[in-house]
Structures are given as structure tokens and as C-alpha cells.
Amino acid sequence: MTSIKGNKDSDEAGFKRLVELEAEYRTQRSAEQLHAIASFPRLFDDFPYPVLISAAILKLADYYRQSNNIQRHAILQVIKKSQPHLKSISNVDETIKRITPVLKSNDQLARAITLRVFGCMATIAYDRIDVYHNVIHSLDSSEAMEVSAAIYAADRMCAHSQRFCAIISGKLAFMVRDAKTPLPMKRRLIRIFGHMFEDIALARLARKTCLDILDMNQDGEYTVAILRTLTRLASHSLVDVNQQVCLLLEMAQTHPLQGIRRVSLICLGSLAQKQIDFSPDQIKAIFEIATTSTDEKSTLRAICTLHNIFRFTSVMPLIYSNMESGSKTMAEFVQLSMQVLRRFTGSSQPSTSSLATSITTTHLILLECYSLLSIVLSNFRDLELDLAEEGSNTEVGSLYGDSVREATQSMSQFLDGIWTRLRTGTAAAELKTQSKTVLWLLVTLTLEEGSGVEALLTTLLNWISQHREQAPLLGKALLQLAQQQPSSVHTQLETLMSMLGDLVESPMTEVFIVIFRTILEALVLNRSKMDMAAREAFETQISGILERFGAVDISEKPTRNHWELYQLATFSLQAGWPSLAVLAMRNLEKPVQSAPFALWLANVQTVALIESSLQAMVNQEGADDSVDLYLKQQMYAKVVASLEEIEAYQFDRTFQLKLCSLRREFLEACQLTVTYLGLLSASLSTHRLSVSQSLHDLNANGGTSSDHAQVSQSRIAAFSSAGDEAVLYKCASSLNRLAHDYTVLRTFVTSRPSSTHSKDTPRGSNQQSDTAMEVQQTLCLVLAFAIQRVAKSLARLSSGKVAAEPKKQTNDEDSEMRESGQTPTSSGSIKTDEEDVFDIDPLLIPLLGKLDQVIANGSELTKMVIEGEETARPKTFVEVFRSSSGSTLQYLCENLQGQSDHEEEALNQLDRGISIAQQLLSRYIAFPIWIPQEFFVSRHPSRKEPSSINATNQFGFSI
């Protein structure tokens, strides 16, 4: 009811405003009448209701019929500005009837304005036969003004009605062939043919007409209009596309006018943007233009066209169809691209003098050439890798590596020249955008090639010291290198730490933050290799730098850069360094005046303290029942309660609440598992002592082998019961459930498009959040898998399927087993496919599928969990973690079988399984998890989009 009442009030307000405008128009004063007419677009925007718009348009139609040409022109402007509202008109016929009589006026200006009104109303009048007739009739007028208006109306009508295109096509063909038609008018008429693409027959008729008149006149603008019309027809109708490409290529190569050659290349580029395919021979022809043309602008257009071809079309699948010949074709494309680069840099090692100038065509050519090379070289590399996998000999030598090194060297000198010019303050502002583009291409090409990363790293560090004003941009490039190649950046750790210390007093805090993040990324793969002394020394050094950066006073309270310190803390948590986050957030909540923000800062600091204390619990000997996670669980419970309190201030913390709850439940499941495994291990030791003592007593009393077996079986029954494995299965089930809960959170993050983030949200935050939760999910899955295998071993003991003595089997029995698909084991037990079946969580299947790709090298479990396989040589933390998870699963499958039928071996397998599970728990409890970027995204119900709390000072820090 409230909504209906609101709409009714708006309608009344709109009609009230319409009445006011009508009253203003009736004053008979020209200025007020024009003001009333000019106010109609605002009326339509404020009250976009069909009834009101229809009534207002009828009023305007009445005014149009009765007014003078000045007011008619004003009404024409109203209709132009009101295009989005025209489709709301319900009485189109009546509107046109009230306007049409003006076409019978003796005033040519009035008729011309009326025709333009019909053109502006083409979206609603495109199916009116009477309008068609009036427009076509006006094309025969002797008045140039009226004919021009009729051409405008015909153009607009054809854009909306293929029926009108069919009707007027003959008339247009006659007029463009008529020698009496002026050339400017012919150019406008030719453009109308570009709308005739929905019907194939009509499109071919339009194309034939344009081709017939192409050679009738040598006027440049006339030819340009024809070429653009033919290109539009081909790109939309897909009729005679190859013929159009050939025509444009011929014009680009042979036409005497430079302008026509450039337009032909532009048209080829527009066809490429429409994903029209080009053959390799056609691409080579365009390369030939780029390498041989004496006109720099034509060369620029040719390179832009090539860039569009490789970017938008499916030329690569065509080349890949025959990989060996395709490799030679791509090698030729690379060589031709390098020829263009050398041509416009003077040599293979371009000088900076030619670049340190204002923006010229040469600058633009180099920019497009760099973009083209980044695509061509990337595709060439992929093709070469595919051929190498098939064992084919490509016979191209080191073309890829040499081309990349030459291109990156040219880019480096290009950037150095631009930044030198920018430092003098005499270069154009556009050079900043150019430098950003080229730097991104330089980093991308270097990372793909691989061998020049360390050289580029050294160059970036030198540039930061030489071009301080470009430090923010260079810092981001440095961070990208660290994220993709952390091991290479780690070699410059001392330089980065020195640079971080030098930036403490710098006003460019953004650069300080980027260098700090780069250091974290560089250490992500080497942190596990740092001993305790090295880690403490590193954290002590960082602590001193942060104290100077925040200007910490005698009360240990930061006096400046509060927001930057908070950003450093969040980035530390996202990189798995909670101890650094604790250092950065020390007493940081004190300057905050707002209660919800102070609570949030306290919660972030608490999370950092919890994770930091967990990482300090690394026990190389494995977890035992002395591990106490109860305090950490309680601290997470307090964080959850505090987040619920923050939600009372209208801040959405749903994701944060769920994430902290899952982390608390993970610690709870780990605590239960650690405690029970400790009890089980102690019980197993006691059992072994008891059995040993009983057998000793039995031997002393002259017991037989059957007495030994009876004693062992009774002890096993006393040692294990059905309830024991039930506890372990419960722990595994809890961990599997947590893994599925992480799937819900991952879906929540990845299902949101990037556009829902604010403009200040860091790029790649969705990917970082998904990866962070994938790590925590995998920890749950692998732990559950290990615990299930231990429970299986224990269940076998409880079921009484083990014997006191191993069963001896003959060679004949071995042969029969092999024939039946069974495998005789060294211990005498039989490993069949049925017995090896175990319950696994579906989420583990992707990891299990990678087992064939991971080669177990016999290394210690603790190394596999953190460091990964050396043979795989992964580059990033994610690759290392996935590789190590696969290795860990392989290790568990090989060492936690639990299928022995012999009592002593079954007990040994159980003991080994408990030990492995304890080691795994110890490592995973202290595993350096990432906190998702989504954790630091703030949402408010009154805002349509979330905002990153890493972007601006939302906390209002005050001292």
C-alpha cells in the first residue's frame, strides 16, 4: 500500500509540473515559451512514467504544429535529448498525425526540421508507411536543406528498419550513380548502405552498388566512405568477408593516396575486432606494409591491425592445426615483428636520445610493437612447448629467448628515456600512461621467459633509486616479480631490507608498503628453511623499522602513519606472517575514537596473536597430549562474540564470523584428535609391555604355541574396542565437515564478480581469498584422511581379523593369487582391490588425481608438508603447497595401509600410523595459513558495493 501511494503522489507531482509548463508556454512571451519547451527533458527524467510522457509529447506535437521555426527547433532538441523515453509513448500514431501537416508547408526550413524530427523519432516511427513516403518524396526536393534533412531521416530509419532499407535501396542506388548528385551528398547516401546487413540479398546488393561506384570518382573522402561502408557490411552480415579483406589489403598496398592506405588498414583492424579471421598469408602482407612503408602513420596503423588480429581473432587455432608448419609461421611472425622494432629504434640496441622527446608517431609505433610482441612471443612459446612435449624438432634454435631479451632491452631503454624526460618536467603527461603500459609488458615478458628475472630485478631496484618519482609504479612491478618468482627476489633480500629502512622517513608511504609486501612474498618459500635464530633476527630488524616508521613514543604508542601500520598488519596476515602483524598493530587501537572500529582493530590484533602463538608451537617430535589449544579456542570464541557486537553497528561481518568460527572448530577437532592419539599411543605401549610380560611368564611355565596365540588374542581384545575407532572416525568426520564448510565460503567469494569490489580493492583479492581458504580446506582434508587410515588399522584389530602367527603360503598359492588379481605381500597378508577400498571425501579426489604426477623421494614428512618436492621446482607458494599436499597423500597411502593379518605387524602399523598422524597434526596446527583478503573487506547495508579497508583511512585515526 505504501508503494502504491508513493507512485500516486509522484504521478500527481509530475502532472502538476506539466500543467505549470503548459501555463508558462501560454504566456505568449517568446522567452518564456522557449524556457517551457526546454524544461521538458528535465520533466521526463524526474517523472519517467508512460502516461505522463505520452501526454507531454502530445502537448509538444501541438506546440510544434502551431509554433514558429525557432520553437520547432527547440522541440527538435527536446526529442533528441529524450531518446531513452520515446519508447514509453503509447500514442505514436496521434503524435505523428499532429506533426506531419508541417511537411506541406511552403517553408523549406519548417519541412527540414520536421524531417529531422521524424529521424529522431525513428525508434518509434520505423514501421510507418506514411513516414517512409514523406522521406523518400523529400529526397527529390530541389531544396538542398530539405534533401539533407531527408538523408538524415533515411539514415536513422534504415538503422531501425530493414523493411525501409529494402524500399529505399533502389532510390539510393540511383542517386549515388547520378552525376548530378553532389559528392558530399553522395558520401552521406553511401553511408546509408552500411545499415543493410540483416538480409543477405540486400547486403550483397548494397555491396555491389558500392563496388560499382568505387572507381567512378577519385575523391579521397568519397572512397573512404565506400570503404567504411563495405567494411561495416562485411563485419555485420559476414557476407563476402574474405573478398573485403583482399580489397582492403590491395588498397593498403597500392593506392596512391596515403590517407586511403591508412583508412584501409583501420578498416582491417575493425574487421579483426569483430573476430573476422585472417589467413597467414594476409597477416604476412600486413607485416610487409609495416616493415616497408615509408609513411610512419601507415606503419602505425598496420601494427595496430596486427595487434587486433592476434588479440581478437582465432588465428592461433588455425596455425596450431599443423603444429610443425605453424611453428615456422610463428617464427616468421616473430622475426617480422623484431624487424619493425629494430627499424624504429635504429639498431638492435636502441638509444635513449630518440626516445627522450615529446610524444611522436615513433613513440606510438614502439608502444604498439611492444604490445604486439608480447602476444606473438607468448603464442610462439606455447607452440614450442607443445611441440617439445610431442618430441618434435622445431629447428628454430634460440629465437624465442633472443627475441625476448632484445625486446625487453628495448623496453628498458624506452622506459629509462621516458622517465629521464619526465624528471626534467618537459614531457607530456601521456608519457606516464605509456611508461605504465611498457613496464607491465616488460614484467610479463620477463616472467614468461624466466631467465631474465634476476636482471630485471636489479634494474628495477636501480630505477627506484634513480627515479624516485616513479617509485610507486616500480614498487608494484617489484611486487609482481616477488609474487611470481619469490626465490629469485629472495636473493636481493638484504637490498630490499636496506631500502625499507631508507624509506622510513620518506613521505611516499605507498612505496614503503609495497617494499614491505615484496619482502614478505620473497620469504614465503624460504621461511621454513630459516632457523629460529634467523627468524628472530629478521623479526627484530623489522620491529625496529616499524617503530621508526610509526615514530613510537616512550609509551610504545605510534604517533604517525597509523593507517599505514594497519595496512602492513593486514598484508602480513594475508602472507602468513602473524608475528609481524602483532608488531605492526601494537597499541594501534588507542588512537581510534569510534567504538566499532576500535573493536575491529582489537579483533584483528587478537587473530594475529592467536596465529602467531600457534606457529610458535612447532614441535619436531610430533604432537602429543600435552598440546593445549583450549586458550586459542576461547580467544577465537571471544573474537566471534566481538564481531557479533560490531554487527550491531550496522556493519556486515558475516564472512568474518564464519571464518573465525571454522578456525575455532578446526582447533577444537585438532585438540580432541591430539588428546585421543596420545591416549591411544600410551595404551599401545602398555599393551606391548603387558603382552611381553604375559608371554615371558607363559614361557617360564612351559606354555605351548596355542597358549601364546590365545594370550595374544585376549590381549588384543582387551586393548581395542569398537568405541575406540568410533572416536577417531568422529574426529575425521568433523574435519571433513569443516572442509565442506570452507567450500561454501569459497563459493561466496568466487561467485562475486570483480566489479563488486570498490575501485581501491587490491587486484586479485578474490583469487587470494580463494587460495587462502583452499589451503585451510586442504589441511582439514589431509588430516581427516590420515585419521581415517589410523581408525581403519584400529578397527581391524578390534574386529579380530589378525592372527598371532603369520600364515605361510606356498609358491602355488602365490601363483593362484596372481591369476585371480590378488597381490601376495611380504608379510603373508593378501592385498585385494576390495580390501584396499576406503572412504574418502569427494573434495580429496582432485588431490588424489595428482598422485601420479608427484614422485615420492623418501624425504621426511615434515619436509614434504612445508617445502614440497625439489624435483617439481614450483615457483609460488600455491604450487609448493599443492605439490606438498600430493606428496603427503602419497606418503600416507604408502605408510598407513593397516591391512596386515599378523598381530605384531598390525600393532607396528598402528603405532606407525599414530606417530605419522601426530607429526602431521603438529605441522598443520602450526602451519602458516593465509588470512583471506575478503576478511578485511568492509560492508555496510547502506552501501551498494563493499569497500576494501586497505584503501582509505576509514577508522579516523586521531592522536
> pLDDT tens digits, residue range 716-764?
554 555 567 788 888 989 999 999 999 888 888 877 655 344 444 444 5
**Rounded Cα distance, 253 and 262, in Å:** 10
Q: Which of 105-109, 356-360, 524-528, 658-662 has the weakest average pLDDT?
A: 356-360
Element (H, E) at 64: helix 50-66
Q: Is 14 in contact with 47 (CB distance < 8 Å)?
A: yes
Q: Return the closest-CA partner of residue 507 out of 560, 439, 461, 431.
A: 560
Please give the Cα distance from 121 to 144 (Å, whole number): 22
User: How does pLDDT run across 260-291, given as a tens digit for each residue?
Assistant: 999 999 999 999 999 998 999 999 999 999 99
Q: What does the pLDDT read at residue 604?
A: 93
Q: How far is CA 915 from the centre of its chain?
A: 42
Cell of 662: 571454522
pLDDT band, residue 164 (cuts 50/70/90): very high
Above 80 in pLDDT, residue 6?
no
Is 274 exposed, middle or buried (CB count within 10 Å of its CB: 0-12, 13-18, 19+)?
middle
Q: What does the pLDDT read at residue 908?
A: 79
pLDDT at 635: 94
Say whether pLDDT at 625 is over 60.
no
Cα four-point dihedral sign 635, 636, 640, 645? positive
pLDDT, tens digit (0-9, with 9 covering 90-100), for 50-74:
999 999 999 999 999 988 999 999 9
Per residue in 903-929, pLDDT (tens digit) is 677 777 888 888 898 889 988 998 999
Q: Which residues pair with 902 in a beta bridge?
A: 803
Mean pLDDT, range 71-99, rounded to an integer: 91
Whether the per-residue pLDDT at 130 is higher than 70: the answer is: yes
H or E element at residue 948 = strand 947-948
> What mean pLDDT is predicted for residues 497-509?
90
Contacts 24+ apart (CB under 8 A), 395-401: 396/327, 396/328, 396/331, 399/331, 399/334, 399/335, 400/334, 400/449, 401/449, 401/451
pLDDT of residue 267: 95
Higher pLDDT pick, 771 / 838 = 771
Task: Report the SS3 class of residue 902.
Answer: strand
pTM of the predicted structure, to 2 decimals: 0.76
* Mean pLDDT confidence for 354-383: 80
At residue 705, the pLDDT reads: 56
- pLDDT grade for 837, boundaries at 50, 70 and 90: very low
pLDDT per residue over 839-854, tens digit each? 566 666 666 555 444 4
Mean pLDDT (the chain, rounded): 80
Using only the alpha carbons of the chain, give its radius of gyration: 39
For the chain, what percent of residues have pLDDT higher than 90? 38
Query: What confidence tens digit (pLDDT) does each residue in 372-394 have?
Result: 999 999 888 887 777 666 655 55
Q: What is the residue type of 775? A: V
Q: What are phi and psi of 930, to 5 degrees?
A: -90, 140
CA atoms within 13 A on the CB side of 378: 16
Supply the pLDDT for residue 587: 77
Residue 713 has pLDDT above 70, yes or no: no
Question: Which of 672, 660, 657, 666 minimizes the C-alpha distance to 925?
Answer: 666
Residue 958 has pLDDT above 60, yes or no: no
Q: Between residues 386 and 936, which one has the greater pLDDT?
A: 936
Average pLDDT over residues 137-159: 93
- Residue 75 exposed, middle or buried by CB count within 10 Å (0-12, 13-18, 19+): buried
The reported pLDDT for the residue numbered 350 is 40
Indicate whether 816 pLDDT > 60.
Answer: no
Nearest to 655 by CA among 774, 780, 769: 769
The answer to whether the Cα torsion of 69, 75, 81, 84 is positive or negative is negative
152 φ/ψ angles, rounded to the nearest 5 degrees: -60, -45
User: Residue 373: its pLDDT value, please?
Assistant: 92
Nearest CA to 780 out of 663, 915, 610 is that of 663
> In this predicted structure, what is the pLDDT of residue 391?
57
Q: What was the pLDDT predicted at 172?
A: 92
More confident residue, 43 or 941: 43
Q: In the prediction, which pLDDT does 1 show?
A: 42
Q: Decide: 329 and 384 in contact? Cβ < 8 Å.
A: no
Cell of 452: 631474465
Predicted local distance difference test score (pLDDT) of residue 116: 95
- Cell numbers linked to 639: 573474537
How much of the chain, in percent, has pLDDT values that exceed 70? 77
Confidence bin at 432 (pLDDT 50/70/90):
confident
399 in Cβ contact with 334 (< 8 Å)? yes
Q: Of residues 470 and 686, which shows the higher confidence score?
A: 470
